[in-house]
Structure 1
Amino acid sequence: MIQLLNNLWVLFSAFLVFLMTIAVGFLEYGELGIALKRSLYKTILITGIAFVVMAVIGFNTAFAPTLYGIIGNPLYKPGFVLGYLNSPTAMFSTIWWATSASYFNTGLLGITYFLFETAFASVTLALVSVVILRKVKMSVFVVFSIVYFIVIYNLPAAWIWNPTGWLYLLGMRDFAGGLVVHGAAGFAGLAIIIRIWQEERKKGIVRSPGEIIKVNDGFLTLAILLLMMGWFGFNPGSVLAFNYDTLIVVMTTFMAALTSMLSTLTVSYLLYKDAGGIMNAVNGILMGLIIVTPLAGFVSPLSAAILGILGGPIFIFANRFFSKRKWFSDPVGLFSGHFTGGIFGVLMIGFFTQHSYAVLSGNSILPNGLFFGGGYLALHTLGIEIMGICAVGLAVFAISYATMYFLSLGFHGILEEPEWKKEERKSLPSSETSK
């Protein structure tokens, strides 16, 4: 049965999540300065490519009934969103199979589920893209994006969020994307920066050129405002229904975010006698949001507050660790924030889950975590989560690296020509530049 209130809520949530892709562009502007002109253009491109590729095939390979639990059936007819043009009423009358009574039982139309999940795919690539900045050719990134929305993003989604995926059937849960979004973005980003490093080494560059932090308070504030608004759809929308649990997830999401902000500022002050100002406030909020994402529907607000408090020292120490690496540049915090926070949050499912909250979000398979007397069953859950992290990490890294390697061959390298070299070439007479 179609549930109109649920459809309205998830459509609204999809709109909020779509805001997050371009908000990542504002985040780059806010941290690195408005001279980084490609940021917003890049995130607009991501939004467009995500929508079209997911409509043609990507939605199916992630969310259609899977082939042997590995990948969604690309030929599943109801999943061809563009195919609805032949039957205009189909998008308004067909419940997506995974939200029928046999599975999630939230009664979402195919078009609703498509928009919501496409928004997730879009923002995930936006997170990956923070490592390319001025370094990777835009043409290379566009082709990579197409592969990303057909296979790279889609495998973790099919394994964990698709009710016929092999990890889902084993009992793995990731409420709103600690691994599918944040962790997997980190693995893909790692593959890209390794390929960047290899090409820089060939050019004789020993230390990867980094970006200079040029904080713009206005853009940074706008970015975190849009991202917090987006997370209102990201986590509560992942209930896939508007009910009592939706309100609990709102509470757990923002409790973790704001306690993490206070924790980050406090830890920074205790260590360095400097709270870090707006940069640490923004990073603290993001770390709390990221950590609670995979278990926002499985924990109490009190547990969310504890997770947020843990987020402060985790971010500070992760940021210090990754900033010391000289062979790659990660100024916007893909690894110290999204990767570290996402993986940590997934692992915490086995510790902080309370069965009563998991039941409310439709995840009755989850037992109490170790901190709530889950015993052997909690350890079993933790083991499945660790296995899922390893499987997703290996697959995403391998496919991302292979894609960039072959693109490097096809495009004669993935590195963008430095700005100074472009200017030098422009200044040469036409007879010289044609040589």
Structure 2
Amino acid sequence: MFDFIDYLSISNILINNLWIVIAAIFIFAMTIAVGFLEVGELGKKFKNSMLKTIVITGTAMFVMSIIGFNTAFAPTLYGIIGNPFYKDGFMLGGFSPGVIFNTWWSMGTSYFNTGLTTGSYFFFETACAAVTLALVGVIVLNKVKFGAFFAFSIVYFIFIWNLPAAWIWNPSGWLYQMGMRDFAGGIVVHGAAAIAGLAIIYEIWMEERKKGLKTSLKVNIKPDYQWLAVGILILWIGWFGFNPGSVLAFNDDVLVVVIATFIASGAGMVSTMLFSRMFDRETPIIIVAVNGILMGLIIVTPLAGFVSPASALILGLIGGPLYVGAEKLFAKVKWFSDPVGLFPAHGVGGIFGVLMIGLFTQHAFAAASGNAILPNGLLFDGGFAALRQLGIEAFGVFVVVITVFAISFLAIFIIAKLSHGILNEDAYKNLEK
């Protein structure tokens, strides 16, 4: 006898898996778009950036399939890191057919009761991981030896990326259990990438001082408008897989996240262009517009499933003064070198967005996205519960920032010692021409 209810249930599962696969494809396109954006902002001299992003993508696939996915999303050991030997162990179960069946990583919470297979979820999260390291690649430009960056990428996917993911996105992670939420990766993706990049920048600066390459801190921006347009267009479109895909199902909340992402990006662009023209008339307007779009997208990323369209608009508008102020502030730090403004956008924007969960969240939106634990924010009469949530988010951000910076700096320091320095000195000669 035909059971219509069972048919609908199976159809929903298939649609959910199809949607996550499509979203993952969008996100993988973002990884290559990061390379386009780097070339577009700094000129064709940096075309080897494309090779870097391609290698990052392949490394993510390799390491995540062997160990990275397990250590991030399998049931955790004491809430700290996923068990790499869970069930069938490494490589998504090895030769067993378990990867095609229902999720072995589900812990029974509403967040994961969407029927996703291990394979589709692995594909999605591997794409997110690849984008994370691509952002780190932008902040270090081509100043780092290719071999040194490749070594760091392996370390990153084994020891760095998976810790924030296991703590915040894994239902058995200690920060998740505490109540911290980060919808699509304000700190897990953007903030962590910027902090890791910051650690590498500091190591670069120390080596530059030893070798008398201080002038290399200044890189002339020579925008290539075609590469820039292609890069931001692909990134912009890809974000509609990145944020809505984080719903982990194809339901009504996907449209809410799409609208929030859509509005925040436009508001961020307008706001950044206005504030930038007030305080900085040297940066090409196309660079300002691109960074404004990114700032709006990044700020809304950690709470896109928790806020109304009106709140998304306000958050995007805040992005302008926040970006301009952060860029001016960090430019005064003598060892800081970030010609494309990645840290002010991804670092400051991502962290700020996570903190705004305690202010702008509306429980109705959060519950629809599977995060019913979140109370109304302080701006919506959340009271003590909202204040507590803000404290949890701030504490989580602090722990992730300290951990990621410490491990990243230790990793790049060891790599530098083993490879007799990480600087690509040939690139420095080109930078100064």
Is this a same-fold pair by TM over 0.5? yes
Aligned to 2:5: none
Q: What's the counterpart of residue 59 of structure 1?
A: 69
Matched, 1:47 2:60: no
Does 1:211 find its partner at 2:219? yes
1:37, CA displacement in angstroms?
A: 2.4
Q: Which amino acid aligns with 2:28?
A: F
Cα distance, 1:190 vs. partner? Answer: 1.1
Q: 1:72 aligns with which of 79, 82, 96?
A: 82
* Structure 1 contact 206–327 (Cα < 8 Å) conserved: no
1:415-435 CA distances to partner (integer Å, 9 max, x unpaired)?
Answer: 11234769xxxxxxxxxxxxx
Over the aligned positions, Cα root-mean-square deviation in angstroms equals 1.8
Deviation per residue, 1:165-217 (Å, 9 max, x gap): 00000000000000001111111111111111111111234454332101111
CA separation of 1:56/1:367 partners in 2, compared to 1, >3 Å: closer, same or farther? same
- Structure 1 residue 336: Cα displacement: 1.1
Deviation at 1:272, TM superposition (A): 5.1
Residue 406 of structure 1 corresponds to which residue in structure 2? 414
TM-score, scaled relative to structure 1: 0.93
Shift of 1:384: 0.4
Verify the 8 A CA contact 1:71 1:158 in the aligned structure 2: yes
Per the TM alignment, residue 319 of structure 1 is displaced from its structure 2 partner at its CA by 1.7
Q: Given the alignment, which residue of 120, 144, 154 partners 1:146?
A: 154
> Any gaps of 5 or more consecutive residues in structure 2?
1-8
State the AA in 2 paired with 1:309. L
Give 1:173's aligned residue: 181
Distance apart, 1:45 and its partner CA? 0.1
Q: How far apart are the structure 2 equivalents of 1:404 and 1:396?
A: 12
Distance 1:380 1:267 in 2: 33
Shift of 1:95: 2.3
Match of 2:341 among 319, 333, 336: 333
Among 238, 242, 249, the alignment partner of 1:234 is 242
| CA distance in 1 between partners of 2:343 and 2:187 (Å) | 13
Q: Is the 8 A contact 1:182 1:342 kept in 2?
A: yes
Any conservation in 1 of the 2:360–2:376 contact (CA below 8 Å)?
yes
Q: Which residue, out of 7, 22, 25, partners 2:32?
A: 22
Structure 1 window deviating more from structure 2 (71-80 vs 293-302): it is 71-80
* Identity fraction in percent: 61
Q: Which amino acid aligns with 2:415?
A: L
The ranges of structure 1 where at least 4 consecutive aligned residues each deviate by more than 6 angstroms after the TM superposition are none
**Aligned pair 1:128/2:159, yes or no?**
no
Contact 2:102 2:115 in 1 (8 A): no
How far does residue 102 in structure 1 lie from its aligned partner after superposition? 6.4
Per-residue CA shift, 1:374-416, capped at 9, x if unaligned? 0100010000001101110111011101101111111011111
Separation of aligned partners in 1, 2:70 and 2:172: 13
Other structure's SS at 2:335 match: coil
In structure 2, how many angstroms separate the alpha carbons of the residues matched to 1:279 and 1:121? 26
Q: Runs of 5+ in structure 1 lacking a partner?
A: 423-435
Which of 403, 407, 425 pairs up with 1:417? 425
State the match for 2:4 in structure 1: none
Stretch of structure 1 that moved more, 134-143 or 208-217: 208-217
TM-superposition CA deviations, 1:267-316 (whole Å, max 9, x none): 22344578952111111110000000000000000000000111111111
> Could you tell which deviates more after superposition, 272-281 or 89-98?
272-281
Distance (whole Å) between structure 2 residues aligned to residue 175 and residue 102 of structure 1: 14
| Residue type of the alignment partner of 2:285 | G
* Structure 2 SS opposite 1:35: helix
Preserved CA contact (<8 Å) 1:208 1:326:
no
Alignment partners' CA distance in 2, 1:408 and 1:275: 33
Quote the Cα distance in structure 2 between the aligned partners of 1:230 and 1:70.
30
Residue in structure 1 matched with residue 399 of structure 2 by the alignment: 391
CA pair 158-420 structure 1, distance change in 2 beyond 3 A: closer
Amino acid at match of 1:48: G
Alignment partner of 1:98: what SS?
coil
TM-score by length of 2: 0.93
**CA distance, structure 1, for counterparts of residue 425 and residue 402 of structure 2:** 31
Output one character per residue of 1:123-177: Cα deviation in whole Å (capped at 9) or x when no partner: 0001111122121111111111111111100000000000000000000000000
